[in-house]
Chain A
Amino acid sequence: MSRSITLGQYMPGESLIHQLNPRVKILALLMMLAVMFIVQTFYALIFLLLFAVLLLASSGVPFSYFLRGIRPILYIALFALVIYFFFTRGGVVLLRIGFITVESDGVREGLFVVTRLVALVLYSLLLTLTTTPLSLTHGMGYFLKPLKYIGLPTDEVAMIMSIALRFIPTLMEESQRLMRAQLSRGADFESGSIFRKAKSLVPLIVPLFISAFRRADELALAMEARGFRLGARRTRLHEDIIAPRDWAVLVFVAATLAAALVLNI
């Protein structure tokens, strides 16, 4: 049953993108997003989009995953297209039906914005599909490190995040089981007024809480039993190394950013 629950969007793989340091990936993504907003010409944008597709192909993640990731923004894209087509003026009149006109500037700008949107999403998906939720957390944690100096316990927060990531699937599975168990005892979670529905959740919430507390208790014991101490120094299995390939990627992306800024394309 647990196999039916997956968390985040991570698709395991061994590609170069998978192996990049998560910090580098996050930084590179931020720079690419900036590039996307800087470029002005359609050709540059199309080039970036094609480049994204190339990267996608090299990541080895099935294409359907990207399509699924894009689906939620299709409506926004469609909406944007309609707005631009019908309300932006300028250029040659392409179509006139009654009082509705579509002019060429509107079409160009509409397509430009939508292409940018799709490219933005593709680059973001490239990060989330090739990076485990845990590495993402660690990567983002790194950029939050300065907050340590204003008293935020960043190491503990990272530990809490990783434990949450570990237990969310377990608890989801458990709530599913629990729901089925209570259904077997004739429970009804669907019909009735809001008040009745809220009341019908008691048989789910109480055992779920009890079990979550028991798990937390046992987990705390188990962590203690394995020598964990709050605030103590720890080492890591995966050293956070920035490898030469990571540097190469950073330099390449930075150069792209610089080019976009200087060339004004």
Chain B
Amino acid sequence: MKNRPEIAIETRKLAYHYPGEENISSPAVYGINLSVKRGEYVSLIGPNGSGKTTLLKLFNALLAPTDGEVLVEGISTTEEESQTEIRRNCGMIFQNPDNQLVATTVEEDIAFGLENLELPSPEIRKRVNRVAGELGLEHLLKHPPHLLSGGEKGRVAIAGILAMQPSCILMDEPTAMLDSKSRQDVLGAVRRLNREQGLAVVHVTHFPEEAARADRVVILHQGRLIEQGPPALVLNNLQLLHQLGLQGTASSELAALLRTDGFSIPQEILNCQELVQSLCSSELKN
């Protein structure tokens, strides 16, 4: 694995129209220049229908750009021969894990991608066991997917992707249907792999608290990239967020309200700890 490029995904003037959409003037995504570095965790936020899912599908070569290009590990997604390699490199977790699980048992599902890669059985077995261990699924290997809880299904979907040893994973609202414990399980697992194994992550979410944990937040609106930067900056640009029908984290929203009341709180507040620390150290010192 030498000479790997620094950039996992790069797009240049990327645009996509869904075929059959009459309105050529409003493409699903348009003019996107974005690069995701190796090992970077990027959150993609934006209102419903802003083109987030379309963008992920373009990254994964499930859609071919109408204009511009997508490079995954330096390879263009339009090259037919490289598509299998791109999809292995850049795994995708769909919104509804139920529709992503192919096989009738958990282990066979985790193995599915590896079988497509034509790996020998012992190697498949080894990887299935390793990934199942990493995601705490060892005890479920023989279970059929329909008997799993939402969080377990989500983790199986991730396991099936990780077994293929991608350099990047794309997640489309993986937590929309989950309770808070399962959300933490799924996102915790991804975050750990991101930290420990340098997995690049592109995570589409409607929850500012989830976006806040990323290295970078990207806002999409009507198919265009409106804003990007570190969460502390982007998620505190409340004027822009509210204008788009989005929200900052509860702490950043509260911090903004308190600032208008004359509190001196720094601009970059994302979570509860930061807010409390700032309040305690300045305004509410006893």
Residues of A at the B interface (CB closer than 8 Å) are 2-3, 5, 7, 12, 132-134, 162-163, 165-166, 169-170, 173, 214-215, 218-219, 221-229, 232-239
Residues of B within 8 A of A (CB): 57, 60, 62, 84, 87-88, 91-92, 94, 96, 98-105, 107-108, 111-121, 124-125, 128, 142, 144-147, 160-161, 164
> Is the beta-carbon distance between B124 and A225 smaller than 8 angstroms?
no
- Nearest first, the 3 closest Cβ-Cβ pairs linking A and B are A237-B111, A226-B113, A218-B99
Q: Smallest distance from the beta carbon of B272 to chain A beta carbons, Å?
A: 36
Contact B102 A237 (CB under 8 A): no
Give 13 A-B contacts (CB < 8 Å), ordered by A residue. A132-B104, A170-B98, A214-B99, A222-B94, A225-B92, A226-B91, A227-B84, A227-B116, A235-B118, A235-B124, A236-B115, A237-B114, A238-B121
Pick the contact of A226 from B121, B125, B146, B161 — CB < 8 Å? B161
| Nearest CB on A from B27, distance (A) | 20
Contact A12 B142 (CB under 8 A): yes
* Bound CA span A221–B60, Å: 10
Given A219-B99, A221-B57, A227-B113, the answer on whether A239 and B84 have CB atoms closer than 8 Å is no
B112:A228 contact, CB within 8 angstroms: yes
Verify B104–A227 contact, CB threshold 8 A.
no
Q: Are the CB atoms of B102 and A223 closer together than 8 Å?
A: yes
Least distance between B131 CB and chain A CB atoms (Å) = 12
User: Does the CB pair A237–B99 fall under 8 Å?
Assistant: no
CB nearest neighbor in B for A224: B62
- Since A134-B104, A237-B115 are in contact, a sample of 15 more A-B pairs with Cβ atoms closer than 8 Å, ordered by chain A residue number, is A2-B147, A7-B144, A132-B104, A132-B105, A133-B104, A218-B99, A221-B94, A222-B99, A225-B92, A226-B164, A228-B112, A236-B115, A237-B108, A237-B111, A239-B121
Chain B facing A: main interface SS = helix
Measured CA separation A235–B117 after assembly (Å) = 8
The complex places the Cα of A2 from the Cα of B263 at a distance, in Å, of 52
For the complex, give the distance between the alpha carbons of A166 and B125 in Å: 21
Given contacts A2-B147, A227-B113, contact A234 B118 (CB under 8 A): yes
Task: Determine if B87 and A227 form an interchain contact, defined as CB atoms under 8 angstroms apart.
Answer: yes
Nearest-neighbor residue (CB-CB) of A164 within chain B: B104
Q: Are A134 and B116 in contact (CB under 8 A)?
A: no
**Nearest CB on A from B172, distance (A):** 10
Q: Which residue of B lies closest to A159 (CB)?
A: B102
**Which residues of chain A come closer than 8 Å to B113, judged between CB atoms?**
226-227
B84, B88, B101, B111: the one contacting A166 at CB < 8 Å is B101
A166 and B145 within 8 A (CB): yes
CB distance from A233 to the nearest CB of B (A): 6
Q: Are A235 and B84 in contact (CB-based, < 8 A)?
A: no
In angstroms, Cα B164 to Cα A228, docked, is 12
Q: How far is the CA of A227 from the CA of B160 in the complex (A)?
A: 11
Instruction: Provide the residues of chain A in CB contact with B60, threshold 8 Å.
Output: 225
CB-CB nearest in chain B for A2: B146
Q: Residues of A contacting B115 with CB < 8 Å?
A: 234-237
Is there contact, CB below 8 Å, between B102 and A219? yes
Instruction: Note all chain A residues with C-beta closer than 8 A to B116.
Output: 226-229, 232, 234
